[in-house]
Amino acid sequence: MRIFIPLLFLMFILISPPSQSAQADLQSIIIEVEGDPNVHKQYIEAYHPFIDVVAVYEKVFNGLALQGSTAKLERMESLEFIKHIHAVQQYEAIEWKKPKASQEEAAQPYAINSTEYTGKGVKVGIIDTGIDYEHPDLQHNYQSGFDLVDLDDDPMESQPEQGMPTSHGTHVAGIIAADGELKGVAPDAEIYAYRALGPGGTGTSVQVLAAMEKAVEDGVDVINLSLGNNVNIPDYPTSIAVNRASNLGIPVVIANGNSGPDDWTVGSPATADKALSVGASTVPTVIPFLYESLEKKAIQLIEMEGSRSWDITRSYEVVNADQSDGSYRGKIALFQRGDVPFYELAKSAEQDGAVAVIIYNREQGSFQGSIENDQNPVNIPVVAVSKEDGEWLLDLAEKKSLYMETGYLPQEVTTAPFSSRGPVTVNWNIKPDVLAPGTEILSTVPGGYEQMSGTSMAAPHVAGAVALIKEAHPDWTRDQIIGAIKTTAGRLEEHSSSDPTIQGMGAISPDKAIETTTIIHNPQLNFGKVDSYRGELRFELTIENISDTTQNYAFDYPKKQGGLDWKLPQSFTLKPKEKKTIPIGLNITTARLEEGVHQGWLTLNKENEQDYHLPYIVVNQNADQPKSAGFEFSLKNFSDDAYEFRLYLTEPARRAEVDLYHPETLIHERKLLEAQDLEEGLYQEELSKKDAGPGGFYLAIVTVYLENGQYESSQSIIHLE
C-alpha cells in the first residue's frame, strides 16, 4: 500500500483582519465569471454591500476574489454570471535544502552565461516573497513592484516584526539580475517584484493570481514563479492563469518542486501545459577520496551535512581516535560510528587540533550524517566512510604510521535528487521541461549573500536565460524563445537521470539557444494512453528553420522493441524561414508490451552535423500514478452548516472511503463518508455538520478502491467545527 500525503490547504485573508469573532465567520473564494468581471464587481458592490471584492482578474483569469460571511455569500450562489467557484489554495516558496559547500566553492549564477548579452532592457517579473530592493547588488536593477499581501507599492521582504522573516525572493532576484559584487545570469535586466507570499513564505492563489495580473499590466517580458504546491493535477486557477499569460506572449518560468526523487511529484502550477517547468541539476564538482600509494587503495569520502569542504592538499597521518591520547594536532582523527552524536565527536577532535575527522560505519555500507550547528559550527572537514574502508584504515593505522593523500574525481552534472519528477497525472505531460543549476547557488539575501539549493534556484536561471535571448532576438515570439531553450538543451545521459520525466529536454544552454538556426516548437512527444488491443497514435511535430539557408533533416530509426512500431519520415527539407508540421506515427500492440509508462528518445539529425534528442512518452493501459490527488475537506461555500469533500481521481474507482482517526493515538473514531462508482475527474460530496459528527482535529485516511481490485490510501489532518 502506498501512502500519499497531499497538501492541506489553508485559508489566508488578503485584506486587514477584522476582529476574531467576525473573522471566524469569513470565507474567501475565487469565482470564475462569464463576461466583464469589472461589471460584475460593480453589481456585487451595489447589491451585495457586505461582500468585499478583494481582487479583480481580467488578464490571466476571468473572475473575482471575494470575502464575506457564509450567510452573505450564500445569497450569491444563484447568480447567473458565475461559471465556477474555486476554493482558495495555499502556495509557498518552494522549500530549499541547506547546502554544505563553502562560499568560495558555491555556484555563481553568472557562470551559465557565456554570451555577450546581459538582458539589457528586458523586464523580469518576480512573483515571490518580495525582495530587498535596497541590497547594493539589486538596487540599480529594481524598477518597480507591488505588495499583494499588504496591498501597497512596497514589495520588501517580510520583516521580523511582521512574523517569520523571508529572504527567498531576494535570492531568486539575485540569480536573475544581481549586478554588484555578485553577478546574476542577466545583470542588466530590469527587476519588477511582486510580493505574493507573506511571512514564512506562504500565500494563496488570491495573491498569486493578483500578482500575475499586475505583472501583465506592468508589461513584463518574462515571469518567474519559484513557488507551488504538491498537487499533481493541471487545472487550478493558477494553471489557467499561467496558460493565459503564455497566450499573451509572456514566457512563464516555474520551479518544478522539491519532492523528488519519486515519479509523479511535480506540483501545480508547474503542471500547466504552457508553463516552462524547471528541474534542478547539480553543478559540476569533484568528489574527494583518500589514497595510499603503496597499498594502491582509494577510499571515497562522503562529506557530512554542515561540514566544510574537504580541501586538504597534502598528506596527513590518520590515527585511531579510540586509542589516541586525545591529541590530534596536525592529524586526521578516525572514529567508529557509535552513540555519541557526530557533532560532539567532530567538535572535540577540532578542539584537540585535528585537521579533519573521518567517521566509519558500524554496519555494512556507507551512510550520510550531519554535524550542523549554526551557533557553534565545526570548522574542519568531517566525512563518512563505509565500515569496510574504516576497518581497513584502522587496521593499517595500528600497524604503522598511516599517511593518506587526497585526490579528487570530477563529478558529472546530474539531476538533483530532490528535484520533482513527472509526468503529470491525467494528461501524461513530460515535466520538467528543462534543467538548470539548483544546488549550492550563491545569491543575494537581505543584508548579504547566502547559498541555497532547490528548484526555486533553478527556475530563475532559466528566467535569466529568457532575458538574454529576448535581448539577442527582440523580434522572437514567446513560442520561439521557449522552443529555442528546449531545442538546444543538452540531454544528461548518465543512467540515473536518463528518463525524460526526470530531466525533460536536459540542461539549458543559453548560448546555443541564441545561436540556433532550428527551433522545434513541441519537442516533447506525448502519445497519451492506450486502452485497446492496438493503438495507432500520431503526433504532429512542428519544426522551424529560422536561418537563411535550406536545411535537411533525417530521423535515426530507433531500435526495435516488441509492441512498438514507429512510423517516421526518412528525411525532409525546410526552406529558409519555413515552418513545417512533421507527422510522427507510433503503433502499439498492448499485449506485446508491459503495462505502464514507456518513455525514451528519438534522434533527429540535421545534415549530419547536429543531433536533437526528442523525448517521448506513452502509457500502456495502466500506470502507477497516484490515483487520487487534491483532497480537500472544508465548510461548503456559502454555508456554515455543511461541509464539502473534494477529491481528484486520475482513473475510475469502485469506491472511496474517508475514515477518521485520533491524530495522536491513531485510534479509529468513525467513517466520515463512503461513495460508490466514481468517474475519473473531480469528485465532490456534501455532508451536513450533523452527519459529520463531533468536532475537533482528525487524521483523515482516504482510501480509493480501483476497478482492478487494487486500492490506494492518502492521509491529511482535517478540522470539524
Q: Per residue in 368-382, pLDDT tens?
A: 788 988 789 999 999
What is the separation of C-alpha 10 from the centre of its chain, rounded to a whole number of angstroms?
Answer: 20
Question: SS3 of 90, please?
Answer: strand
Contacts of 149 (CB under 8 A, 6+ apart): 14, 195, 196, 197, 198, 203, 207
Indicate the burial class of 441 (C-beta count within 10 angstroms; 0-12, 13-18, 19 or more): buried
Per-residue pLDDT at 104: 54
Stretches where the chain sits below pLDDT 70 are 1-25, 95-106, 230-235, 324-326, 494-497, 630, 637-639
Q: pLDDT tens, 296-311?
A: 888 888 888 888 888 8
**DSSP category for residue 415:** B
Amino acid, single-letter form, for residue 629: A
Write phi, then psi, for 361 (nearest 5 degrees).
-70, 155
> CB 486: neighbour CB atoms within 10 A?
25
Phi-psi region of 284 (alpha: psi -120 to 50; beta: other; left: phi over 0): beta
- Give the model's pLDDT for residue 667: 85
CA angle 416-421-423, nearest 5°?
Answer: 160
Please tell me the predicted confidence (pLDDT) of residue 622: 79
In 628-695 the beta strands, taken as DSSP E runs, fall at 628-635, 642-649, 653-661, 668-678, 681-688
The cell 549586478 sits on which residue? 179
Q: Edge-to-edge strand order for the sheet containing 285-292?
A: 297-300, 285-292, 402-411, 316-320, 331-336, 356-360, 382-385, 302-303
d(CA 47, CA 138): 46
The pLDDT, as a whole number, for residue 423 is 92
Unique residue bearing C-alpha cell 509492441 = 563
State the angle between helix axes of 455-472 and 168-177 in degrees (0 to 180), rounded to the nearest 10.
Answer: 30
Domains and CATH numbers, the chain: 20-88 (3.30.70.80), 115-283+415-512 (3.40.50.200), 287-408 (3.50.30.30), 517-620 (2.60.40.10), 627-720 (2.60.40.2550)
> Could you give the C-alpha distances from 685 to 5, 8, 76, 209, 625, in angstroms and in order?
20, 18, 20, 27, 24
User: How far apart, in whole angstroms, are the C-alpha atoms of residue 129 and residue 623?
Assistant: 37
Q: What is the pLDDT of residue 14?
A: 34
Q: Which residues contact 477 (CB under 8 A, 6 or more apart)?
A: 249
Whole-number Å distance between alpha carbons of 276 and 211: 18
**C-beta neighbour count of 479 within 10 angstroms:** 17
Burial class, 681, CB count within 10 angstroms (exposed 0-12 / middle 13-18 / buried 19+)? middle
Q: Tell me the three cell numbers of residue 18.
A: 477584522
